[in-house]
Amino acid sequence: MSTSSRVTASVKTPTLTPSYPHTLKLIPRLRDILQLRFTDMFASVPAAAMASISPANPLKRLARVLGYAGLRLVGNIFQPIRNPETLQDAVWLYVVSANNYNALEFIKQARPDAVLVAGQGKNIGRYGSVVNRLSLRRKLLYYWQFPYVFLGLLRTDERKAWRFFDFIFYAIGYYEVYRRALRHYRPRAVIFSNDHNDDSRSLLLACRAEGVPTAYIQHASVSVHFPPLGFDLSLLEGQDALDKYGQCGPVHGRVELVGMPKADAFLKEKNLRPRVTRVGLACNVHDPLPAIAEALAFLMQELPELVFTLRPHPSDPRDFNSLRCTLPQLQWSDARQENVFAFLQGHDALIAADTSTHLEATLLNLVSIYYQFSANPLIHDYYGYVAHELVDHAQSLPELRDFLQQYQREKPLTHFQRAAYYNATIGTEYESQSQALAIKIITDWLG
């Protein structure tokens, strides 16, 4: 299925795009690895949310760096690696989160030579014990680079380099240890589902340097703030993703639009209930807790006949106990235990700000309403869902209430068709067949 003019007609074992340098010098390499961290958008994350990622106080950041050095770097030396599978000459499925695991697991099931791989100590949630690990013991040997890299980045990105010196510290050494791992195991290819985390980008650059073919499967909606698309093969969900990557920079390699593989099983069970009775609210660290509490209290008072469920993002470290006490009738979804599609199947509508759950909800024929809990203009309509009319846009709590009242009376049965721009298989013979399509393309690509 060729859905883009950028898709190559022939299928062959990939080679690196000639315009790519095989290696970058140290400082440009770290700047590339940290691309997303150095964007204005990332720097504008609300202080309360950023505190859990990178404290504003430089002494607290330093304390985290020292804790990372002691617990992770030194701790890795004494942590044995006992992988359940052989990594030699395998197709690596590199994951950095449970969401990545869910996005790539179907390849593992389809190919006996595929193995799921993560960095040593990386938190993969409930899948942590079944993922093979790449040793990071030697990462400690490369921290002599930190003063040189930090001073170099101060010259080009002074404010951001100082504010995020902790991220610079964390990123040191990934590239070198991953190059060593690639030389040792010689994987047949590495397939990613994240293109912007420091460890993912380090492995991508290491693959280029070692000549290991790379592929990418989109696992969530993308942003114009992401790094340019730089894999040998990229399987994107739809035209939206390709258009956004085109704004990020030159699109390299072969691109195919295959829909959303992780949604296949659920697209056959769309929500055909004629009215909204259950409403989910998805939030993440960008959404201030007071605004979330205010919205829920207002809606639960105004619409007492509706059932509301709050689903914090799995990486959200905040304490929600006060909200549990304030709104005891509120239902909860644990994203660490419940798949997002399973959560959505129990609801008729979704309220959220900037999250790709809007797209997943619409694909299942839930009505999805965008409501921004923060006032940050840099992340308003981050994924462009409002601009492309995937979702309704409520600009106030009364307007949010009015949308829900409207859908209480009648919920459209064809609401999912709004997602066609984001999912190339909607309304085609390949709808709910994205996994089979992706496997076919990958198999041909690997030769």
pTM over 0.85: no
Looking at the structure, do residues 247 and 365 belong to the same domain, yes or no? Answer: no
- State the pLDDT at residue 47: 77
3 located within any domain: no
- State the pLDDT at residue 184: 97
Looking at the structure, do residues 128 and 256 belong to the same domain, yes or no? Answer: yes
Instruction: Say if residues 407 and 275 touch (Cβ distance below 8 Å).
Output: yes
171 located within any domain: yes
Looking at the structure, do residues 230 and 304 belong to the same domain, yes or no? Answer: no
pLDDT (tens digit, 9 = 90+) per residue, 258-290? Answer: 999 988 988 888 999 999 999 999 999 889 999
1 located within any domain: no
Task: State percent of the chain over pLDDT 90.
Answer: 76
Looking at the structure, do residues 208 and 59 belong to the same domain, yes or no? Answer: yes
234 forms bridges with which residues in the sheet? 216, 255
The two three-digit tokens of residue 372, written as one number: 């921004």
Task: Work out the pLDDT band at 21, boundaries 50, 70, 90.
Answer: low
Task: Work out the pLDDT band at 249, boundaries 50, 70, 90.
Answer: very high
Report the candidate in 348, 347, 345 with the shortest Cα–Cα distance to residue 411.
348
Average pLDDT across the chain, whole number: 91
The two three-digit tokens of residue 355, written as one number: 């999250």
6 located within any domain: no
Instruction: Say if residues 392 and 368 touch (Cβ distance below 8 Å).
Output: yes
Identity of residue 423: N
pLDDT (tens digit, 9 = 90+) per residue, 92-105? Answer: 999 999 889 999 99
**d(Cα 97, Cα 80) in Å, to the nearest integer?**
21
Task: Work out the pLDDT band at 25, boundaries 50, 70, 90.
Answer: very high
Looking at the structure, do residues 258 and 275 belong to the same domain, yes or no? Answer: no
258 located within any domain: yes
Cβ-proximal residues to 371 (8 Å cutoff; 6+ apart), any chain: 295, 351, 352, 353, 394, 400
Looking at the structure, do residues 91 and 37 belong to the same domain, yes or no? Answer: yes
Give, to the nearest 10 degrees, the angle between helix 98-110 and helix 434-446.
70
- State the pLDDT at residue 77: 87
236 forms bridges with which residues in the sheet? 257
C-alpha of 79 from chain center: 28
Looking at the structure, do residues 177 and 93 belong to the same domain, yes or no? Answer: yes
Instruction: Say if residues 204 and 230 touch (Cβ distance below 8 Å).
Output: yes
**d(Cα 40, Cα 225) in Å, to the nearest integer?**
9
In the numeric block, the tokens 């093979």 are attached to 132
| Residue 360: pLDDT over 50 | yes
Looking at the structure, do residues 211 and 278 belong to the same domain, yes or no? Answer: no
Looking at the structure, do residues 75 and 213 belong to the same domain, yes or no? Answer: yes
Task: Work out the pLDDT band at 17, boundaries 50, 70, 90.
Answer: very low
| Residue 241: pLDDT over 90 | yes
Looking at the structure, do residues 184 and 284 belong to the same domain, yes or no? Answer: no
In sign, the C-alpha dihedral spanning 378, 382, 387, 393 is: negative
Query: Which of the residue ranges 19-23, 89-93, 307-311 would you say has the lowest mean pLDDT?
Result: 19-23
| Residue 306: pLDDT over 60 | yes
pLDDT (tens digit, 9 = 90+) per residue, 187-202? Answer: 999 999 999 999 999 9
Domain that holds residue 104: 26-262+431-446
367 located within any domain: yes
